[in-house]
Structure 1
């Protein structure tokens, strides 16, 4: 019995390692000049797994600027191309990737591609206000709305992909 469990663990480990390796390759997009920077931001949020320091380090190693607001309890990360901005809050439990350039349709495609690259089944669920959301097995939920104070489910000009960990 123990032998079977050990063999099963060995069979699963390479797949998990490969998925993390693929996500690591996607991190290279954090230095992209175009819209593909969103792919790197999604990968960094997932690989950070809700840990502020681990997540922020992935961004700063790629040259992003980190700003901490201890009074508000948020960490903001900004890349040089201005396509997306990232905010970590609630102790890192939420990693929000916002764009005032990319609409929800294109970012949803990027989000689904990133979740698939992570090796997860694409499992839709209902997000806030009935908007699109996807399960991140054993981690939480990735949801998508427009950006701004009063988000809506669909927007041609803005988006907010919110990775919520520990649900």
Structure 2
């Protein structure tokens, strides 16, 4: 007796092209995070310059876990908005493939910075304003300390952001 239930099996893991690109703002200047800290404009400049002079890079990690690198940041720069990052999830890293699937489904979109404070001061409301930090890593995270730190360029319309996510998903399925 036939139950009407159909099953299809494609086999294998989801396919991700080498160099699946992600981008967004890992930090936004002038916005208090959930701990009350604010990153001031220019806070990353000296650290980025030191890294470049040594030929070193900021690491791309999964959930701030140093044992779980998932890709490389090809571009990290400060602009008027904050710390912009663009990088690639690496095909040969199983966790990167999982991250790509989660990003494509919209389950993960947070970015978060790992750093050491070099110089900070209190503002008029008693909040810590980070004036200089040593940037170690930028992670893909489920819950960023700064909710506005997300994949996708800030300032685009929600429709543009949705279109970018759809395009990224199609590229990952590629």
**Relative contact order (C-alpha < 8 Å, sep 6+): which is higher?**
2
Q: Which entry has the higher C-alpha Rg, 1 or 2?
A: 2
State TM-score, norm by structure 1: 0.26
The TM-score with structure 2 as length reference comes to 0.26
Structure with greater proportional helix content: 1
Greater per-residue strand proportion: 2
